């Protein structure tokens, strides 16, 4: 009889043990999220990689963030809009266009409202790079030349057209080409085009590589034209590029937008709060990812932010006294 009772009790013990063990193991499964970044040769990709590594270490966050290379700002806003990315890096001007459904054809009358800001990171300079052989010294001298405006529908293309506008030029005034940054760099080095626009962080690999050739120079964007741009498009700022930031490059000034991090608005508040907190708790590792990352501080995190904050990020800044 005792033996039978033991036999009957054994399955019950096993079931109870599984009931306790299975939920615990399920609780350890990490939630998978995606971070849309940019070109592998740009700045977004290493920054996204650093964030992925930082959040992976935070036990109560329990996240695994995969980094996706993408077509950068415009594509990233669209990935947020369709729900195919959870987090994304993009320019603040593109975030403004996307959220408000203006300016670019990708967003006109198609606003992306399910996007909330987390923080702005660093200035993204509009590098106007020209071959020395072309003799181009000013933006006005791009007239009639072969010029890469950036990929079709990209943030770089929008910046390029706005700069040309400020200098009284239209796209039809030059021989415009639309290719990606790596291809543009190759064509400039080979002399197949005279100049190109690149919107990327100071010290970006693609610009460093282009200047190694010794065949290019940086064209300044400043003066009355830059001031007019900043008045019309308030997301722009002016930034100095110190001499020899790139090989044998003279000091120059240009306009810049801000790189920023956004999240899908429907991500849980607590998740985004912990994500934001994790980054600021380990700024040292984030700053080591790229020289541009050093621009992120708690005090500058909201500079140039053009769209509403995600509730999770807002909660974090309120706790820190940055937001009231």
Q: Domain of 315: which CATH number?
A: 3.40.190.10
111 and 148 together in one domain:
no
Residue 119 CB coordination number (10 Å)? 24
Q: In the beta sheet, which residues pair with residue 88?
A: 36, 262
Bridge partners of residue 237, in order along the sequence: 256
How many Cβ atoms from other residues are within 10 Å of residue 321's Cβ? 8
pLDDT at 28: 61
- Confirm whether 21 is domain-assigned: no
Q: Per-residue pLDDT tens for 200-245?
A: 888 888 999 999 999 999 999 999 999 999 888 888 989 999 999 9
Q: If you compute the radius of gyration of the chain from its CA atoms, what whole number of angstroms results?
A: 24
Q: Which residues contact 296 (CB under 8 A, 6 or more apart)?
A: 119, 121, 122, 279, 283, 286, 287
CA dist., res. 216 & res. 209, Å (int): 11
| Percent of the chain clearing pLDDT 70 (strictly above) | 91
Q: Is the pTM of this model over 0.75?
A: yes
Q: Is residue 235 part of a domain?
A: yes
Residue 99 and residue 145 in one domain: no
Q: In sequence order, which ranges of 68-151 are alpha helices (DSSP H)?
A: 73-82, 92-100
pLDDT in tens, 234-255: 889 899 999 999 999 999 999 9
For 260-308, what is each residue's pLDDT tens digit? Answer: 999 999 999 999 999 999 999 999 999 999 988 999 999 999 988 999 9
Q: How far apart are CA 68 and CA 80, in angstroms?
A: 13
Q: How far apart are CA 99 and CA 265, in angstroms?
A: 12
Domain boundaries, position 215: 124-257
Q: Is residue 6 part of a domain?
A: no
Judge contact between 129 and 206, C-beta under 8 A: no
Residues 6-37: b if buried by 16+ CB within 10 A, e if exposed: eeeeeeeeeeeeeeeeeeeeeeeeeeebbbbb
Based on the fold, state whether residues 147 and 202 are members of the same structural domain.
yes
The residue among 59 and 110 whose pLDDT is bigger is: 110
247 in the same domain as 141:
yes
143 and 193 housed in the same domain: yes
Residue 272 lies in a domain: yes
Alpha helices in 167-321 (DSSP H): 181-190, 205-212, 223-232, 269-281, 283-287, 311-319
> What's the number of domains the chain is made of?
2
Whether residue 57 is predicted with pLDDT greater than 90 in this model: the reply is yes
For helices 205-212 and 181-190, angle between their N-to-C axes, nearest 10 degrees:
10
**All residues at 6 or more sequence positions from 51 whose CB lies less than 8 Å from its CB, including other chains:** 35, 65, 87, 261, 279, 286
* Cα–Cα dist 66/89, whole Å: 13
For residue 24, what pLDDT is reported?
44
pLDDT surpasses 60 at 26? no
């Amino acid at each position: 009889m005792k033996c039978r009772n033991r036999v009957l009790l054994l399955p019950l013990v096993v079931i109870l043990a599984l009931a306790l063990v299975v939920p615990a193991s399920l609780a350890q499964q990490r939630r998978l999220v995606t971070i849309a970044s940019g070109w592998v040769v740009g700045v977004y990709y290493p920054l996204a990689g650093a964030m992925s590594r930082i959040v992976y270490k935070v036990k109560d966050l329990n996240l695994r963030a995969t980094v996706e290379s993408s077509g950068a700002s415009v594509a990233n806003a669209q990935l947020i809009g369709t729900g195919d990315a959870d987090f994304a890096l993009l320019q603040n001007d593109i975030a403004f266009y996307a959220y408000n459904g203006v300016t670019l054809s990708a967003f006109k009358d198609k606003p992306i409202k399910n996007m909330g800001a987390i923080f702005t990171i660093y200035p993204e300079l509009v590098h106007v790079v020209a071959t020395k052989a072309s003799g181009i010294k000013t933006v006005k001298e791009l007239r009639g030349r072969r010029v890469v405006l950036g990929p079709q529908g990209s943030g770089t293309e929008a910046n390029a057209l706005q700069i040309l506008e400020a200098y009284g030029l239209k796209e039809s005034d030059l021989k415009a080409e639309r290719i990606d940054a790596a291809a543009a760099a190759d064509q400039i080095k080979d002399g197949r085009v005279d100049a190109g626009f690149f919107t990327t962080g100071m010290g970006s690999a693609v610009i460093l590589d282009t200047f190694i050739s010794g065949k290019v120079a940086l064209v300044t964007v400043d003066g009355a034209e830059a001031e007019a741009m900043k008045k019309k498009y308030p997301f722009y700022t002016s930034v100095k590029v110190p001499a020899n930031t790139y090989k044998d490059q003279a000091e120059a000034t240009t306009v810049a937008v801000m790189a920023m991090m956004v999240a899908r608005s429907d991500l849980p508040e607590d998740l985004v709060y912990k994500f934001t907190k994790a980054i600021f708790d380990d700024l040292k590792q984030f700053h080591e990812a790229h020289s541009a990352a050093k621009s992120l501080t708690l005090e500058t995190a909201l500079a140039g932010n053009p769209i509403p904050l995600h509730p999770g990020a807002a909660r974090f800044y309120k706790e820190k006294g940055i937001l009231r």
